Amino acid sequence: MTEGIWHGGDLGRARALFPDAPEPWIDLSTGINPIPYPLPALPLSLWQRLPAADDEAALLAAARGAYRARPETGIVAAPGTQILIDLLPRVVPDRVGAGPVAVLGPTYAEHALAWRKMGATVFEADSLAQADDAATVVVVNPNNPDGRLLSVSELTALAARCAAWGGLLVVDEAFCDFTPESSLIPTLPPATLVLRSFGKTYGLAGVRLGFAIGEANLVSALRDAMGPWAVAGPALAIGAQALADVDWLAQAGAARAADAARLDALLAPRGEIVGGTALFRLLATAAAPALFAHLGAHGLYVRRFQADPTRLRFGLPGDAPAWERLEAALACFPHGG
C-alpha cells in the first residue's frame, strides 16, 4: 500500500485499531464483489511454465468481446490496473510537461499521485467545467466512492477537447461491468485511454488482472514498459473463462443490485446515502467517526476517508451471517444520522 493513502481491505490495520473486536472480521471496506466467480480447475502446467502467447491471446480476445472493443483498438493485459495507473505518466512524458492534469474528484487517490510523482501539476476538479484549463483529464466512471456517472456523450466531447489541446483523456472504468451502457470503449474516441479492472466485479482481486484499452501506440508503450510475461499464466486462464461467461455476469449484476438496495435500506436511517454502485454505497453523516468506531468494535470494517471524515463507504456483505452482524451492529448504534 502506498504510504499516506488509505485503502480498503487492510484487516491488519483493522485489528490494530480494534484489538478486542470479535473474529472473524467482516470486511466491508472494499468495492470487491463478495461472491466471486467460481474458479475453474487449472492444469498444473499453468504453474510450471511461463505464460504462453496463445494463453494471452485467448484472454485478450475474451476481454475484447466482453468490453466490446473495436478490432482496431489496442488492448493490453496487466497484473492489475494499479500498475497501469502508475506507468501511464511515465510513458507519456510529453503530456506530463504540457500543462496541468485535472482529476475529476473526489476519487481514487492513486491517479493524482501517479502524475505528481512524474512532476506533473495536478489539481482536483469538482466538475467538468473546472477541468477546462487542463489538456489531460482523468475521470473514474462510475466514480469511486460516490458512483457519479458521466454520459458517453459528455466523455466524447471531453476527449475531443483533450485531443485538440494535445492532451489525453483517461477513463477508469473499474466499476463499469454492471453498467456496460456507460462504457466509452465501443465508441472510443482519439486521445483516450480506458482502464478496466477484472478483480472487483469477479470477486478475484488476488488474481491481479486489469486492462488498458486505447490507441495502439499508447497501449504498446504500456506493454513495453511492463516487459514480457507481465500476467501470470493462471490469471490468463481464469480471466479468459470468466470474461466469456456472459450468463454469470448478468446473474451477478442482478444479485448485487438487489444487495445494494438492501444495504440502502439498512443505511438510510443513519444518514444520507450519497450514491455508489452495485458493489458499494457511500453514506454521509456527522456521526461517521463514531459509527466507524462502533462498527469496528463489532468486527465490521468499513472504508473511511482522510479528506472527508463525514463519509463512510460500505461494501456488500457476502453471506447471511455477515448481513446479520451488520444489521445487529447498526441496530444498536446510539446516534442518529
Chain segment 201-214, per-residue pLDDT in tens: 999 999 999 999 99
**What span, in angstroms and rounded, lies between the C-alpha atoms of 183 and 179?**
8
Q: Are strands 300-301 and 303-304 parallel, antiparallel or unpaired?
A: unpaired
Interval 168-201: pLDDT, tens? 999 999 999 999 999 999 999 999 999 999 999 9
pLDDT at 161: 94
Q: Tell me: pLDDT of 325 over 50.
A: yes
What pLDDT was estimated at residue 56?
98
**pTM of the entire structure?**
0.95
- Work out the pLDDT band at 19, boundaries 50, 70, 90: very high
CA distance 86 to 222: 10
Counting runs of H as helices and runs of E as strands, what totals does the chain give?
A: 13, 13
Q: Residue 309: its pLDDT value, please?
A: 95
- DSSP SS3 for 334: coil
Q: Residue 197: what are its φ and ψ, rounded to 5°?
A: -105, 140
C-beta neighbour count of 224 within 10 angstroms: 12
User: pLDDT category, 268, cuts 50, 70, 90?
Assistant: very high
Ranges 49-63, 94-108, 182-196, 223-237: which has the least confidence: 94-108
Pick the more confident residue, 337 or 99.
99
Q: Using DSSP, state whether 229 is helix, strand or coil.
A: coil
pLDDT, the chain, mean: 95
What is the average per-residue pLDDT within 298-326? 96
pLDDT at 326 over 70: yes
Q: Give the model's pLDDT for residue 269.
A: 96
pLDDT per residue as tens digits for the range 158-173? 999 999 999 999 999 9
Is the confidence at residue 93, as pLDDT, over 60? Answer: yes
Look at residue 4 and tell me whether its pLDDT is greater than 70.
no
Percent of the chain past pLDDT 90, that is, above it, reads: 93
Q: How sure is the predictor about 336, in pLDDT bands with cuts at 50, 70 and 90? A: low
Residue 2 banded pLDDT, cuts 50, 70, 90:
very low
Per-residue pLDDT band at 1 (split at 50, 70, 90): very low
User: Which domains does the chain carry?
Assistant: 11-36+247-331 (3.90.1150.10), 50-244 (3.40.640.10)
- Specify the pLDDT at position 337: 53
State yes or no: pLDDT of 96 exceeds 60: yes
Q: Residue 78 to residues 130, 143, 198, 254: CA-CA distances in angstroms?
A: 32, 21, 10, 28
Q: What is the mean pLDDT of residues 110-117?
A: 95
pLDDT digits (tens, 9 = 90+) for 218-243: 999 999 999 999 999 999 999 999 99
Per DSSP bridges, beta strands 74-78 and 210-214 are antiparallel
